[in-house]
Chain A
């Protein structure tokens, strides 16, 4: 068995004295693990840092085996990410979220969303927005997506302002007025084109929205705790966005 693909390193685990087991998110083969001979060597360690884009050749005798990766660097972004609290917390949270997916199950849309976030980790306003979009896409890929296209009450596609915490469907400003204390605010940026950026309060609303459904429909269902780095990421985003806004 052999394939070649590109991927983003999510993490590594030591294996013996010189080898490492690399966990990568690939475009066509989903989240995949493989043994990297010499993965703890001076040459390979910088390449196997989370966030780096790599070219992978996976080989195994039979498909069920862990197999081995031959790894070549494509874009070594990790050094740049290390300097930013937003970037390192985002990387940890993205990796934890992607671990919710079954291994070797392709999710090309999530891979593209991951690439988009990594490209914008230096711009907190855009990174925050893209991160919320990533979590919404993750919910969709896990089969518990939200319907933000039209109002659940009136069917209108205009003035959508809330999301029902029960159904995960959008509610318009007028229809939701009466229950607004019980509804989740729908951040405006989700109604615009991706990559426009968002304010600190909109990012907070976005995080609150996805947090509710991730906890209720994913993490609690699996008896798992949400990654601690997610709260740290929101804190770092708030700090950066607030200082930029003032």
Chain B
């Protein structure tokens, strides 16, 4: 049995940090040590920020985004086009699209994709809420910004079926060559999809 090298408070801190994505036990130990060394500049403010976030963070009842207000900052922004909604799998995708800043629209976070292997069906996602939002009549375009995976596209086809017959245009993101991508290094699937979706130049 290995000897303990620190008190239970520090051990617990290391254990919890090790569960954060990107950190393992070794890097968690380094992070914990760094936080302890910089107690006033890092550890205390971090713990206060985490406590505050834990108390105030909530899921937006309209779009499924996480924020400290409900409706969230995105939903309550009057400068956004209420006629367009971008459907994403996860909050991380929403943040990624917001960083791109290409479309000034609202969002809808599905909370995942249809995945029978993981037991995720339509009822585990926010598909019903999306259909209700569209049924209100204000939304004229739904942009399906789901991942280019078979599960993501199955979800996209399912959503298209659910929205068929409603007065809304359903679009999806284009497939193809990423910026900076070299054709020689792309997989055959991406290349064939890019060729099929070629556009006039």
Contacts and interface: CB of A to CB of B under 8 A. Distances in A.
A80 B122 contact: no
Contacts of B160: 85
Contact of B150 (A13, A23, A85, A91): A91
Contacts of A96: 116
B126 interface: no
B189 interface: yes
Interface stretch (B62-70, B80-88, B99-107, B151-159): B151-159
A19 interface: no
Contacts of B158: 232
A55 B117 CA distance: 22
Interface of B: 21-22, 114-118, 121-122, 148-151, 153-154, 157-158, 160-161, 175, 187-190, 192-193, 196
A219 to B, nearest CB: 13
Interface of A: 10-13, 17, 23, 45-47, 49-52, 73, 76-83, 85, 88-89, 91-92, 95-96, 227-229, 232, 235-236
Q: Which secondary structure dominates chain B's binding surface?
A: helix
B120 to A, nearest CB: 11
Given A50-B150, A229-B154, A79 B21 contact: no
Greatest chain B CB density within 10 A among A47, A51, A85 is at A85
Contacts of B193: 79-80, 82-83
Nearest to A48: B149
Nearest to B116: A96
25 contacts: A11-B117, A12-B117, A17-B21, A46-B187, A46-B189, A46-B190, A47-B187, A49-B150, A49-B189, A50-B150, A50-B151, A77-B189, A79-B190, A80-B189, A80-B192, A82-B149, A82-B153, A82-B193, A88-B153, A95-B117, A96-B116, A228-B121, A228-B122, A229-B116, A232-B158
